[in-house]
Amino acid sequence: MTTANLLEFDLEGLAAFCEKLGEKKFRATQLFRWIHQRGASDFAQMTDLAKSLREKLAGTARVEALPVLSRHESADGTIKWLFDVGDGNAVEAVFIPEDDRGTLCVSSQAGCAVGCRFCSTGHQGFSRNLTAGEIVAQLWFAEHFLRKHLKRDERVISNVVMMGMGEPLQNYSALVPALRTMLDDNAYGLSRRRVTVSTSGVVPMMDRLGTDCPVALAVSLHAPNDALRDDLVPLNRKYPIAELLDACRRYLAHAPRDFITFEYCMLDGVNDQPEHAQQLIELVRPRGGQGGVSCKFNLIPFNPFPASGLLRSPQPRVLAFAKALSEAGIVTTVRKTRGDDIDAACGQLAGDVKDRTRAAERMAQRRLTEHTVAMHPARRAAAAPDVQEH
């Protein structure tokens, strides 16, 4: 008989499940606490539940984590897990310890269909969406593993960022119940300010998230104009920058923070010039009766991988770029690279997916096309013999 994995349910869903078993709703709260606060997976351990309920659960339900294929620990304390999600697919989650917080970077999809040029996940292609339970399972496993590993009784993970593999807002139906479990005081009790969803700009879903479950928002901007962003972030062709910024302004009416974080990956000679910084300033500052966007910029050192054909901006150029934004009154930080010795840094999560989108093939074809266009006609004409026309 098929049993339900209780990690799939937020508290409302678990209450409905308990009602089907003929149990009162308050039993769901007790069960929820056992699963998420105490990390229990054996119903026999849940001693304040009636024996009759425990017997029902044993026959109809389970609490099942994702199998761990590997664990790597960086010299800086960062830990990366590779989780098996079945059918030859694996996803990665990363724990980043800092003095004042512990952050878990969580995946929402096996692969990613957006195909940003600078992201190794996008070059892996896309296989499928994760379920709500598979998203929550990354937090459930990491939190309770770390408590044992670090010999701590209190909560270890204080922040969750949906910045792992995948575009979270393209898996909206699973994302929202997973977020609700993270925020629930009977589970992990995370603050809305400490749970961040990162998006490449799925405008309609940004609006829905602002209504359904507003948490902190990070937008992968990476370019100051549509022509460049069309190339770096293909989703921009559907939702160009003006539409994206309008959605950011609407989101701020609901957001737990009074700013949007713009992620900006620094690419050598591509988007890191002084004129790019000036264009960004013009994008977000108020002008001509148009309200600006309350924001901060997070400049991200690019983590090169061969298939991208891109290089990291030199550090002096990154700092000069940050200075230009800061002097314009925009809060700007440069992300410290963590876990790059175990390929756990930003943009490096690739996991292992069965690509249903043939992304590698399409990107290789695009690079070939770009090379051909670059050679024709100007460069090819320059290389040809000089022929006088009559």
Q: Residue 244 burial (CB < 10 Å; 0-12/13-18/19+)?
A: buried
**CB-based contact 54:36 (threshold 8 Å):** no
| Active-site choice (92, 134, 167, 263) | 92
Helix, strand, or coil here: 337? coil
Please count the CA atoms within 13 angstroms of the CA of 102 that sit on its side-chain side. 17
Is 346 annotated in the active site? yes
Sole residue written with tokens 């050192």: 301
Q: What is the arrangement of strands in the sheet containing 331-334, beginning at the earlier edge strand?
A: 68-73, 79-86, 89-97, 102-105, 159-162, 195-199, 216-220, 260-266, 295-301, 331-334
Is 18 annotated in the active site? no
Q: Which residue, 231, 202, 222, 197, is CA-closest to 115?
A: 231
Helix, strand, or coil here: 226? helix
Q: Which residue, 95, 90, 52, 88, is CA-closest to 73?
A: 95
- Tokens representing 225? 């104009």
> Euclidean distance between the first and final Cα of the chain, in Å?
85
Residues assigned a catalytic role: 92, 346
